[in-house]
């Protein structure tokens, strides 16, 4: 069974059809990339999946359950964690505090005042492993706002991991990064996928990253689904070449 099923969703903003009749099936353990030229509706589509706003038409199912009307915070609790195109963190807090807030939220401790020692230790362990997985152990006590751009993004991913997600949604994880940072984030995503078995959906502009990482690729153009397939199929697809690859070549 698919982990995420998006069926024929559309989103209109007034007369603007931002997303039109797009479907997407993601299997457990898959890494799916969503690509498309600017204005193709990728981020709108992402916002529909994560519950930033509801679709005008269509249905979204997660792990078999209909979540079309479930708000963003509810989807997070069901196991969908996202990062943003423009890094969204708590800049004044340390990496550890950032991840702690995520871990405690995921553990349902948002109303917690007193915590038993065992619980505290379990949370501390989880925080430590999320930070380690993101490769930030040596920077854990630094204020996130003071870190380099790539490390901030890694911290945001660590927060997402601390939510114990079953689906990770990454909105342009390498946006605005230099060569080295892009390489490091791509390596991190690859580790999460290959070694830790996370199911990941990501939007990405950097084609090297996409073709290097993705199991399958979904191409959007002007709000519509243009093509879907393996990297090899997409690279060979004439419509995609015309609409997208041709444009940048």
Q: Give the residues lining the site for another protein (CB under 8 A).
A: 50, 72-74, 76-77, 81-82, 84, 88-93, 97, 100-102, 104-106, 109-115, 137, 141, 159, 163
Torsion angle, alpha carbons of 37, 41, 42, 43, to 10 = 120
Least separation in angstroms between CB 146 and another protein:
12
Q: Which is nearer to another protein, 96 or 216 (CB)?
A: 96
CA 77 – CA 165 distance, rounded (Å) = 9
| Residue closer to another protein, measured from CB, 125 or 194 | 125
CB of 34 to another protein, least distance (A): 18
Would you state the structure tokens that stand for residue 158, as one six-digit string? Answer: 């660590």
> Could you tell me which residues come within 8 angstroms of residue 183 by beta carbon, excluding any fewer than 6 positions away?
none
Q: Smallest distance from the beta carbon of 90 to another protein, in angstroms?
A: 4
Distance CA 50, CA 76 (A): 8
Residue bearing tokens 């950032």: 98
Is the four-CA dihedral 200, 201, 205, 209 of positive or negative sign? positive
In the bound state with another protein, the residue whose beta carbon lies nearer, of 109 and 239, is: 109
Q: Strand 31-35 vs strand 57-62: parallel, antiparallel, or unpaired?
A: unpaired
Rounded to a whole number of angstroms, the minimum distance from the CB of residue 105 to another protein is 4
Bridge partner residues of 203 (DSSP):
34, 171
The residue (of 42 and 82) whose beta carbon lies closer to another protein is 82
Taking the complex as a whole, the smallest distance from the CB of residue 224 to another protein amounts, in Å, to 27
- Select 172 or 221, whichever has its Cβ closest to another protein: 172
Q: Contact at 8 Å (CB) between 49 and 26?
A: no
Q: Which is nearer to another protein, 1 or 118 (CB)?
A: 118
107 phi, psi to nearest 5 deg: -80, 5
Give the shortest CB-198-to-another protein separation in angstroms: 17
């Amino acid at each position: 069974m698919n982990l995420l099923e998006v069926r024929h969703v559309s989103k209109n903003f007034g007369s603007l059809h931002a997303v039109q009749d797009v479907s997407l099936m993601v299997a457990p353990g898959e890494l799916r990339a969503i690509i498309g030229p600017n204005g193709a509706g990728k981020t709108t589509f992402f916002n529909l999946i994560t519950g930033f706003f509801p679709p005008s038409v269509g249905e979204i199912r997660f792990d078999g359950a209909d979540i079309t009307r479930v708000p963003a915070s509810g989807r997070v609790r069901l196991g969908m964690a996202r990062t943003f195109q423009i890094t969204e963190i708590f800049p004044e807090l340390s990496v550890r505090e950032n991840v702690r807030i995520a871990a405690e939220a995921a553990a349902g401790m948002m109303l917690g005042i007193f915590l038993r020692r065992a619980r505290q230790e379990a949370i501390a362990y989880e925080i430590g492993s999320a930070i380690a997985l993101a490769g930030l152990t040596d920077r854990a006590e630094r204020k996130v706002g003071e870190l380099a751009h790539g490390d901030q993004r890694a911290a945001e991913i660590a927060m997402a991991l601390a939510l114990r997600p079953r689906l990770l949604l990454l909105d342009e994880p390498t946006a605005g990064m230099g060569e080295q940072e892009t390489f490091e984030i791509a390596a991190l995503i690859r580790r999460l996928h290959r070694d830790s078995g996370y199911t990941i959906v990501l939007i990405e502009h950097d084609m090297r990253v996409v073709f290097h990482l993705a199991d399958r690729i979904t191409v959007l153009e002007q709000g519509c689904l243009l093509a879907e397939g393996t990297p090899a199929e997409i690279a060979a697809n004439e419509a995609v070449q015309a609409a997208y690859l041709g444009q940048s070549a």
